[in-house]
Amino acid sequence: MNIDSSKILVPHMTAWSEEEVPAVSIRFKAGRLAYSEERAEDRDEHGILWARSVTAQGSGRPTFGRVHTERQREAVARMLCQVCALPVAPSEGQYLWLTDLSDVTGLGRFEEGWVTSSYPPICRPCLDTSIARCPALRKGFAILTVARAEPYGVRGIEFRKSWRRPVPATPSVHHYAYGDPALPRVLATQQVSMLHGAALTDWNHKS
Ligand SMILES: [Zn+2]
């Protein structure tokens, strides 16, 4: 669903204020991070613990810059446009990707032109509209052409034990590849793809 009020554009994967997730207690159990009351759907097929989602799209205010975990995972898995949620088709073998500038800092260092990204693809009409009207892009953005995307891992935060409760082990979120030894201690918030044949076509940086 693309919620498009008269002036602003709200991407499908943007979380809304009524989608706030109640605080959930986490702990370490047999060396891995766990919910105190865990449900089967809290882990994916890799055994990775996922942040929970509350779904109330369109309720309250859009919270730009905050991503709805469940919609993001679905869009990445099914190659849906990050804004309108329709399936994205490649044009002349190339997909379009609208990402954070931080996602592309490594581009050019790799001969084969790959980067990891937590963004789903974007369709051409939504790309044009987003650049004009999405408040989240005021912080800067990068536009890539991409030949192929494949599952890479998760974006999340690693926790460590402390005397009262698990605390973040790093000051910021990271992309963790499947098989990373840190994953049992990670709370995942977004799916991450590896983008092959990625080339930077345009970017904009605003401080
Ligand atoms: Zn779209």
**CA–centroid distance, residue 86 to ligand 1 (Å):** 6
**CA–centroid distance, residue 105 to ligand 1 (Å):** 25
**CA–centroid distance, residue 127 to ligand 1 (Å):** 7
**CA–centroid distance, residue 13 to ligand 1 (Å):** 11
**CA–centroid distance, residue 87 to ligand 1 (Å):** 8
Residue spans per domain, the chain: 3-204
**CA–centroid distance, residue 123 to ligand 1 (Å):** 4
List pLDDT tens digits, range 9-68: 788 889 999 988 878 899 999 999 999 999 999 999 999 999 998 888 899 998 888 899
Question: Would you state the structure tokens that stand for residue 116, as one six-digit string?
Answer: 């990891």
**CA–centroid distance, residue 163 to ligand 1 (Å):** 47
> Which burial class, exposed, middle or buried, applies to 111 when counting CB atoms under 10 A from its CB (0-12, 13-18, 19+)?
exposed
Task: Residue 35: name the closest of 20, 21, 24 by CA.
Answer: 24
SS (H, E, C) the chain: CCEECCCCEECCCEEEHHHCCCCCCEEEECCEEEECCCCHHHECCCCCEECCCCCCCCCCCEEEEEECHHHHHHHHHHCECCCCCCECCCECCEEEEEECHHHHCCCCCCCCCCEEECCCCECHHHHHHHHHHCHHHHHCEEEEEECEEEEEEEEEEEEECCCCCCEECCCCCEEEECCCCCHHHEEEEEEEEEEECCEEEEEECCC
**CA–centroid distance, residue 59 to ligand 1 (Å):** 21
Residue carrying structure tokens 């080339």: 199
List pLDDT tens digits, range 87-136: 999 999 999 999 887 777 766 655 568 889 999 999 999 998 888 777 66
Whether pLDDT at 1 is above 50 = no
**CA–centroid distance, residue 180 to ligand 1 (Å):** 33
**CA–centroid distance, residue 71 to ligand 1 (Å):** 14
Higher pLDDT, 133 or 183: 183
Question: Would you state the structure tokens that stand for residue 108, as one six-digit string?
Answer: 């050019």
Whole-model pTM: value is 0.88
